[in-house]
């Protein structure tokens, strides 16, 4: 690892005694999918409806597609930090601004980027189109963001609808400088199913973790991840975003994914983690009496979780009694399984020095520094 790359960040790091690694920072297109114009063929520009002048295109309803996103559950207060944008700049669209506003301000040594506009690719019904967008996004991210500031690291995205094509995309860009993991947009079927095995094999082949993240398509689009029910309110929907992650982790454990791919690591970003305590208690107990049904699960299921699953911290739980939080972290072995995330530039952003204040100093250091370094290894250097 290198030292923090700016004077401001160095000052902040020395003040707090940490060199923070932020494992969930969202960057966005300035003009939507129009930003991908240089990275797709002429035929795909026509199919996507991009490249026309805005004056001409404004006369037609379908000149540019919108990627799947949450159009039903709207936060009336807005989804962004108000200071992350200006009248002329949408939030998290200018790498140099993000460098100053986030990295310098909070002493972030490395920021792991998860493209905010491609989280819902798994819900697209046109699988070929999803694959083209994924490849174009990866080229855009590599050029537009990773070359701007040496502290940025990238998550390449793949389209889960076509696992063989997704594996080929990992082979194409998985070893590019600055790439640290594979973003797998949530979809159906559940993540333990053999459908995903080519993706897992490619990620393991390149030593890349798989990261999943809420997509904004939950219980909205037919191919998107499922909640137990369709919520009525934004607060209900936002609270229930952990449900698909719980189901997918359970699916991977019961299908023996980590026996088949012993070097694979799953990162659950912004999906909560307190639920994992109940999951491993219930699953370990049930497995002890029902292991004949899943003979490929050769170890206690919680062992696989502790060895192969990592959780980002944001949104960090805030119980009235801090002792309850410490108990959850102890049970879940937070000094192994948690990695810090701010979720910049969203409204519920977490300050690395305030959000974890209830935890012991050595645990905070593990979460903010040591665990991410162990997770991503030399790719952070």
CATH code for position 197 = 3.20.20.140
Inform me whether the pLDDT recorded for 38 exceeds 50. yes
pLDDT of the residue at 9: 41
Q: Residue range 279-308: average pLDDT?
A: 97
pLDDT digits (tens, 9 = 90+) for 57-78: 454 444 456 788 887 888 887 7
Confidence of residue 52 (pLDDT cuts 50, 70, 90): low
Domain count within the chain: 1
Confidence of residue 204 (pLDDT cuts 50, 70, 90): very high
pLDDT of the residue at 50: 86
Q: Residue range 202-211: average pLDDT?
A: 98
The candidate with the shortest Cα–Cα distance to 19, out of 369, 271, 334, 375, is 369
Averaged confidence pLDDT in the chain: 91
Q: Are 121 and 159 in contact (CB under 8 A)?
A: yes
Confidence of residue 87 (pLDDT cuts 50, 70, 90): confident
pLDDT of the residue at 5: 39
C-alpha 192/C-alpha 256 separation (Å) is: 8
**DSSP 8-state secondary structure symbol assigned to residue 103:** I
Inform me whether the pLDDT recorded for 159 exceeds 50. yes
pLDDT of the residue at 316: 92
pLDDT digits (tens, 9 = 90+) for 222-258: 999 999 988 999 999 999 999 999 999 999 999 999 9
C-alpha 240/C-alpha 55 separation (Å) is: 41
Write phi, then psi, for 262 (nearest 5 degrees): -70, -15
pLDDT of the residue at 54: 55
Range of the domain at 121: 7-380
pLDDT of the residue at 173: 98
Confidence of residue 99 (pLDDT cuts 50, 70, 90): very high
Buried b (16+ CB within 10 A) or exposed e, 237-267: bbebbbbbbbbbbbbbbbbbbbeebeebbbb
Q: Is residue 302 part of a domain?
A: yes
Q: Residue range 118-145: average pLDDT?
A: 97
Inform me whether the pLDDT recorded for 317 exceeds 50. yes
Q: Is residue 176 part of a domain?
A: yes
Inform me whether the pLDDT recorded for 306 exceeds 80. yes
pLDDT digits (tens, 9 = 90+) for 114-130: 999 999 999 999 999 99
Percent pLDDT > 70 in the chain is 92
pLDDT of the residue at 49: 84
Q: Residue range 149-158: average pLDDT?
A: 98
In what order do the strands lie in the sheet containing 108-113?
20-25, 108-113, 152-157, 179-183, 210-212, 266-268, 309-312, 338-339
**Residue whose structure tokens are 């162990």:** 374
Q: Is residue 2 part of a domain?
A: no
Q: Is residue 287 part of a domain?
A: yes
Q: Is residue 1 part of a domain?
A: no
pTM exceeds 0.85 = yes
pLDDT of the residue at 13: 45
Q: Is residue 272 part of a domain?
A: yes
Percent pLDDT > 90 in the chain is 78
Rg (CA), the chain: 20
Buried b (16+ CB within 10 A) or exposed e, 99-109: bebbbbebbbb
Q: Is residue 369 part of a domain?
A: yes
Q: Is residue 29 part of a domain?
A: yes
């Amino acid at each position: 690892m290198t030292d923090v790359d700016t004077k401001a960040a160095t000052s902040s790091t020395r003040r707090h005694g940490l060199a923070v690694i932020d494992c969930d920072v969202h960057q966005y297109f300035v003009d939507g999918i129009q930003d991908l114009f240089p990275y797709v063929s002429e035929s795909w520009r026509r199919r996507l409806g991009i490249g026309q002048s805005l004056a001409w295109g404004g006369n037609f309803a379908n000149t540019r597609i919108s990627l799947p996103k949450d159009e039903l559950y709207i936060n009336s207060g807005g989804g962004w930090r108000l200071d992350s944008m200006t009248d002329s700049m949408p939030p998290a669209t200018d790498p140099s601004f993000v460098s100053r506003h986030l990295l310098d301000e909070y002493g972030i040594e490395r920021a792991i980027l998860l493209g905010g506009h491609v989280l819902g690719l798994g819900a697209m019904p046109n699988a070929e189109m999803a694959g083209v967008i994924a490849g174009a996004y990866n080229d855009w991210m590599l050029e537009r963001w990773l070359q701007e500031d040496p502290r940025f690291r990238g998550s390449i995205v793949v389209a889960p609808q076509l696992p063989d094509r997704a594996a080929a995309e990992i082979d194409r860009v998985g070893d590019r400088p600055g790439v640290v993991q594979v973003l797998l947009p949530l979809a159906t079927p559940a993540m333990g199913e053999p459908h995903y095995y080519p993706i897992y094999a490619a990620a393991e082949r390149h030593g890349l973790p798989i990261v999943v993240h809420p997509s904004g398509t939950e219980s909205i689009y037919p191919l998107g991840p499922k909640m137990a029910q369709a919520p009525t309110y934004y607060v209900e929907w936002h609270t229930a975003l952990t449900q698909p992650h719980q189901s997918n982790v359970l699916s991977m454990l019961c299908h023996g994914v980590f026996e088949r791919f012993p070097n694979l690591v799953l990162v659950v970003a912004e999906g909560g983690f307190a639920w994992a305590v109940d999951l491993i208690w219930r699953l370990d107990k049930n497995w002890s009496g029902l292991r004949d049904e899943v003979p490929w699960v050769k170890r206690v299921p919680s062992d696989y979780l502790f060895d192969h699953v990592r959780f980002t911290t944001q949104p960090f739980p805030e119980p009235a009694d801090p002792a309850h939080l410490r108990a959850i972290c102890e049970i879940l072995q937070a000094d192994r399984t948690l990695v810090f995330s701010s979720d910049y530039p969203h409204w519920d952003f977490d300050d690395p020095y305030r959000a974890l204040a209830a935890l012991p100093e050595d645990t905070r250091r593990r979460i903010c520094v040591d665990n991410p370094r162990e997770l991503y290894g030399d790719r952070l250097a």
